[in-house]
Amino acid sequence: MDFDKVVELVHETKSIIERLSDSKNIKRKSEFDFVTETDLAISKFLHGELSALYPQTGFMSEEEDISELPSDRWILDPIDGTTNLIYNYALSSVSLALCRDEDIVFGVVYNPFSDETFTAVKGEGAYYNGKKMSAAPDRDLRECLIEFGAGATHKDEAENTFALAENVFRNCLDLRRMCSSALAICYIAQGRLNGYFEKVLKPWDYAAAVLIARECGITLTDWTGAPMQFARPQSIICGTPKAYRFLSEAVKEFV
């Protein structure tokens, strides 16, 4: 596959985002879960372009019904951080992965607001704006910034989530909550963050970023220590070695 061409297509979504920046066409999937005209337009655009280039490859997107999961499929989150987009928070990303036989072999995460692009091909390293990334620094826990997801659509988990967050906060340097899982995982790969945990994520939230992080030596599992999978929602722990070891112990009480 011509992955450079795929990255070009992802970059073209910036024009869609700019064109629809003032759109007020926002729908609620639930009380705290939104879909915008931008989400739908990007999903339609990339589905159409990728299907034309690679008709044998299936498609899995947050904004499309999934009746079956082909072994070879694109996994797309057209806007990871939709609420951030609605509130002009400028921390959203387009996340696209290629999954083959339940393994991610290519991923791109693009922040159109900062023009930052993270890419990886399995076994070939990860890249930030075209420059190869090195292994992320393994900071002592007291020097670590930890991202956590509270899950606005999972407020029933709030008591446990924030009890866990308090424990982590007392042991690390500080906490962050960006609300774009794909960007958070890429930031760990780059060294801007050092760890991340969330109780429930869907595959399109993390598929592309998982490969980018792995290529930089980052460990990612669910809360039980099982490998990441890309067919159904799951929990996630992600971090450099010291951060990961602490988080994997901290979450045991809440599995």
Q: Are 64 and 177 contained in the same domain?
A: no
Q: How far apart are CA 189 and CA 233, in angstroms?
A: 22
- Summarize pLDDT for 186-213 with one digit per residue, the tens: 999 999 999 999 999 999 999 999 999 9
- Summarize pLDDT for 37-85 with one digit per residue, the tens: 999 999 999 999 999 999 999 999 877 766 678 889 999 999 999 989 9
User: How many domains are there within the chain?
Assistant: 2
Q: Are 146 and 128 contained in the same domain?
A: no
Q: What is the pLDDT of residue 22?
A: 78
- β pairing state of 72-80 and 58-61: parallel
Q: Are 64 and 104 contained in the same domain?
A: yes
Q: Are 125 and 21 contained in the same domain?
A: yes
Q: Look at the block and give the residue holding tokens 């659509």.
A: 153
Dihedral pair phi/psi, residue 78, rounded to 5°: -65, -35
Nearest to 164 by CA among 146, 180, 179, 178: 146
Q: How far apart are CA 79 and CA 86, in angstroms?
A: 11
Q: Are 104 and 146 contained in the same domain?
A: no
| Domain containing residue 14 | 3-132
- Summarize pLDDT for 213-225 with one digit per residue, the tens: 999 999 999 999 9
Here the tokens at position 208 are 């592309």
pTM: 0.93
Domain boundary among 97, 132, 167: 132
Q: Are 101 and 203 contained in the same domain?
A: no
Q: Are 181 and 117 contained in the same domain?
A: no
Give the rounded distance of the alpha carbon of 128 from its chain centre: 15
Q: Are 148 and 121 contained in the same domain?
A: no
CATH number where 181 lies: 3.40.190.80
Q: Are 93 and 72 contained in the same domain?
A: yes
Q: How far apart are CA 3 and CA 82, in angstroms?
A: 26
- β pairing state of 126-128 and 131-132: antiparallel
CATH number where 71 lies: 3.30.540.10
Decide: 29 and 44 in contact? Cβ < 8 Å. no
Distances (CA, A) of 76 to 44, 55, 159: 11, 16, 31
Domain boundary among 76, 103, 132: 132
Q: Are 250 and 168 contained in the same domain?
A: yes
